[in-house]
Amino acid sequence: MRIFSAVALLASLTALHSASAQDIGAGERSFNKCRACHQVGETAKNGVGPHLNGLFGRHTGAVEGYSYSPANKAANLDWDEAIFATYIKDPKAKIPGTKMIFAGIKNDKEIADLTAFLKQFGKDGKKM
């Protein structure tokens, strides 16, 4: 009976962890909302928006060759998960004057999945 209880407990904990774990595949699908303006990966280039390789840990307005808004340059933020989550929910509220035109992603799970997807890409665009 104790073995069954231990197995049931382990199974429920695993299910709970899986339910809250980040899903990179779902994050990649969410990134489809971003693709019109942003790229990631080894061949990523700046487009309407800057490439997003190495986003986390990067300073706002720091991608070479991209023409940022004065608001983004002056934001003086280092991208981390919390700042990104706030920004991607409502870019114009986080950085008033940004030229990013995006309604935002409101769902916390989707933001976590998107974050996991983006965190795979180092500064060189290679998956880490």
Domain ranges of the chain: 23-119
pLDDT per position as a tens digit, 72-110: 999 999 999 999 999 999 999 999 999 999 999 999 999
Return the closest-CA partner of residue 61 out of 48, 74, 52: 74
pTM for the structure as a whole: 0.83
pLDDT band for position 7 (50/70/90)?
A: very low
Instruction: Note the pLDDT tens digit of each residue in 45-58.
Output: 999 999 999 999 99
Amino acid at 105: I
Q: Which distant-in-sequence residues (6+ apart) come within 8 Å of 70 by Cβ?
A: 97
CATH number of 23-119: 1.10.760.10
Alpha helices in 1-128 (DSSP H): 2-20, 24-31, 70-74, 81-89, 91-94, 108-119
